[in-house]
Amino acid sequence: MLVTLADILKKADKGNYAVVAPDYTTLHSVRYQLEVAEKYKAPLILSYTKHIKSLCPTKSWDKWTRIILDECEQYDIDVCLHLDHGTTVEECNEAVDSGFTGIMMDASAKSFEENVELTSKVVEYAHKHNVSVEAEIGHVGTAVEGTYLMKDEARAHLTQPEEAKRFVDLTKTDCLAVAIGTVHGEYKGEPHIDFELLEMIDKLVSVPLVIHGGSGTGDDNIRKAVSLGIRKINVFHDWIQPSQLKTAEIIAQTPKALGKIADATRDIIYDVLGHWFDITSSGNKG
């Protein structure tokens, strides 16, 4: 059943586990993600990013959203439909109006003051409609930026604990994405996660914490991050890359084998998310 982001993360906080948040691309991937979550009795945050809006299969984006909302209601687990990395107030408000139960306002690349202003506007509108908000302070980069090496001795891109506390107090956001050394995409070396920093942030910040760039971070690192207060972990690369590669392989061998492509995607999503439910301790928590 559909629940808000705040509701799903409050349960995770009480139970000391993290909720997996995989991005979906098609209705097939939505279905497979919900199926495997129900199989493991795990809560799920279905994440949507504007970068795949061109894949919308209906003329109306609202209609597409309603189809997904209806699909979410067919499963006997807690599900949040979440906008991932909204970058404008208008975009976030549109998702609220369409029925999303969680919204991320990502103004992390802007100044602290601008981030507070934009996030506060989204929070005000979303809360009026009983929708929860995720925000980000610090900057979770991409692998090509090399931030995973943490070469910036001033650690300017990482979340600063006192600033994070002030940000949450000012914006009233429901959860906070933090930069502790993870990256979006594929790591180009060994992950270097600052667990001491995470522990400091968790002690100061009153809302559940989120990490982006969960894929490739490593099982032990994920388990430790969860033990130190991470309650939502974004996962996309782990399932989309092998799925795309397998699709290319099947097409090269048998171009019309649509059933094989669907089956392969399903199996990959089942395997990948099943593993993530295990390492986040979210199985049997849905």
CATH number, domain of 67, equals 3.20.20.70
Contact 77, 273 (CB under 8 A): no
pLDDT of residue 141: 57
Highest mean pLDDT among 121-125, 153-157, 232-236, 243-247: 121-125
3-state helix, strand, coil in the chain (%, to 5): 50, 15, 35
pLDDT per position as a tens digit, 55-90: 888 888 899 999 999 999 999 999 999 999 999 999
Catalytic site residue from 7, 78, 84, 238:
84
Distance, in Å, from the CA atom of 269 to the CA atom of 101, rounded to the nearest integer, reads: 23
Nearest to 280 by CA among 2, 4, 22, 6: 22
Q: Is residue 286 part of a domain?
A: no
The predicted structure's pLDDT at residue 154: 40
Does residue 153 lie in a domain region?
yes
Q: Supply the pTM of this predicted model.
A: 0.91
Asked whether residue 32 is domain-assigned, the answer is yes
Q: Is the pLDDT of residue 258 over 80?
A: yes
Instruction: Tell me the percentage of the chain whose pLDDT exceeds 90.
Output: 74
Q: Is 252 within a domain? A: yes
Count of domains forming the chain: 1
Question: 27 pLDDT exceeds 50?
Answer: yes
Assigned domain for 42 exists: yes
Kindly tell me if the per-residue pLDDT of 145 is higher than 50.
no
Q: With respect to residue 201, please indicate whether it lies within any of the assigned structural domains.
A: yes
Question: Is 179 among the domain residues?
Answer: yes
The most distant pair of C-alpha atoms in the chain lies apart, rounded to whole Å, by 56
- Tell me: the pLDDT tens digits for 190-202? 567 889 999 999 9
146-165 per-position pLDDT tens digit: 444 444 444 557 889 999 99
Average pLDDT, the chain: 90
Known active-site residue 194: no
Strand partners, 136: 177
d(CA 177, CA 228): 14
Count CB atoms within 10 A of the CB of residue 285: 20
CB 50 within 8 A of CB 91: yes
Specify the pLDDT at position 150: 45
In a domain, 285, yes or no: no
Q: Is 209 or 49 the better-scoring residue by pLDDT?
A: 209
Q: Is the pLDDT of residue 257 over 90?
A: no
Question: Tokens 């650690």 map to which residue?
Answer: 155
Structural domain of 184 = 5-279
